[in-house]
Amino acid sequence: MRIAVQADSFDPGAELTRFAAGHTDQGAIVSFSGLVRDVTGGLEAMQIEHYPGMTERAIEQIAFQAKTRWNLGDVLVIHRYGSLTVGEIIMMVATTAPHRTDAFEAAEYLMDYLKSRAPFWKKEVTSQSADWVAAKDEDEDALSRWDGS
Amino acid sequence: MKLQVMYFAWLRERIGQGSEQVETDAATVAELVAELRTREARYDLAFSDLSAVRVAIDQELTDLDASLDGAREVAFFPPMTGG
């Protein structure tokens, strides 16, 4: 399991290649990468704040939950903080599993929990304004689908 | 008891600092919030809508009713927006 919380950019392709290497009993790898997108056309920066210490712990707990719940080989989570510009990579998750269903579901679970349970906060900066991104009800709702099964 | 109290995102901005040492006898997080709100207007403003405030004790998410017994670090922040 590799968890990295970092300011530096990274190459998701190279990370995936490294992550995939050396697994002879895993038939499936799923990866997701999140990028800074410009919804309104005026985004100058996406500033990401986090809670050093708690961030790593929270992600570790989420990853352990995923490993308990699905038959996974390995889990990779990289999440950046600091000031990012449009098109830059923010984060990636990847999972390996013997079979694809476990790898897909666990990757979705990791994403859902990272969005609402890992202590990151995004601020969108334009030439006119700087606004904290509000948490969405649908992000909270997304967690409920993992309850009780 | 002496607590390290931390603030993130707009709570940090409204209070004007990221962390501070607080000497308190508050038994719960809610009591600590009530005490901070009486200190200065900036705290009162930051904590005016508690439905928008999340809390962690010693880097574990918890809720406002949680006991501060044994706590060293308490953090306040808005709902998280990672991913």
Q: CA-to-CA distance for A25 and A9, rounded, in angstroms?
A: 30
At A40 the three-state DSSP class reads: coil
Chain mean position to CA A27: 22
The residue extents of the domains of chain A are: 2-133
Q: Residue A111's closest chain B neighbor by CA?
A: B83
Do B79 and A34 lie within an 8 Å CB cutoff? no
pLDDT of residue A140: 87
Domain A2-133 CATH (choose: 3.80.10.10, 1.20.210.10, 3.30.200.20, 3.90.1170.40):
3.90.1170.40
Q: Is A134 an interface residue toward B (CB < 8 Å)?
A: yes
Q: CA-to-CA distance for A24 and A46, rounded, in angstroms?
A: 39
ipTM score for this prediction: 0.95
Whether the CA torsion A92, A97, A103, A109 is positive or negative: it is: negative
Tens of pLDDT, residue by residue over B46-76, are 999 999 999 999 999 999 999 999 999 999 9
Output the CATH code of domain B2-77. 3.10.20.30
The residue extents of the domains of chain B are: 2-77
Q: Is B56 an interface residue toward A (CB < 8 Å)?
A: yes
- What's at B26, amino acid-wise? A
pLDDT of residue B29: 98
Please tell me which of the candidates B6, B10, B82 has its beta carbon nearest to residue A118. Answer: B82
pLDDT of residue A149: 54
Is the predicted pLDDT of residue A35 greater than 90, yes or no?
yes
Rg (CA), chain A: 16
Average pLDDT over residues A59-85: 97
* Total residue length of chain A: 149
